[in-house]
Amino acid sequence: TALVRNKEPFTFAFAGRTANKVREMRDREFGGTDYEDTPILQASYDDVFSLMDLCRSAYVIVNVAGPYMLTQGELLLDCCCRCGTDYCDVSGEIPW
C-alpha cells in the first residue's frame, strides 16, 4: 500500500538463491501490476562475492528470509556493513 500512496519514483529488485523461484513469486504476487517487470537478482550465502555484488548494487537490503541464525544471515549483514548499505530484517530472534 505504501507503493500506491507514495508516487515518488524509486527502484527496487527481488533477490534470492534461485532466480526461478523468485520469478515465480514475483509473477504470482505482482503479475498485472506496475511491478510485474521488477528485476530479479541472484545471490547466495554459498557465494560471498554474489552477496557483495548485491550489497554494492543497493542502498538498502530488506531481508525477509529467516531464521537468520540458521541461514548465515550475519554474512549478509557483514556484507552490508562493508559496502555501506543499510540493512533491515523482519527478525523476531532475540539473540540476533
Question: What per-residue confidence (pLDDT) applies to 63?
Answer: 86
Which residues on adjacent β-strands are paired with residue 60?
Answer: 86
Question: What per-residue confidence (pLDDT) applies to 96?
Answer: 58
Residue-wise pLDDT tens digits, 69-84: 777 778 898 999 999 9
What is the end-to-end Cα distance of the chain in Å, rounded?
29
Taking the C-alpha atoms of residue 51 and residue 24, their distance in angstroms, rounded to an integer, is 21
Taking the C-alpha atoms of residue 75 and residue 71, their distance in angstroms, rounded to an integer, is 9
DSSP letter (8 states) at residue 93: -
Domain assignment of residue 70, yes or no: yes
Tally the domains of the chain. 2
Residue-number span of the structural domain to which 51 is assigned: 44-90
Please state whether beta strands 40-42 and 60-63 pair in parallel, antiparallel, or not at all (unpaired).
unpaired
Output 26-32 pairs: Cβ under 8 A, ≥24 positions apart: none
Domain assignment of residue 3, yes or no: no
pLDDT tier, 3 (very low <50, low <70, confident <90, very high otherwise):
low
Whether the model pTM is above 0.85? no
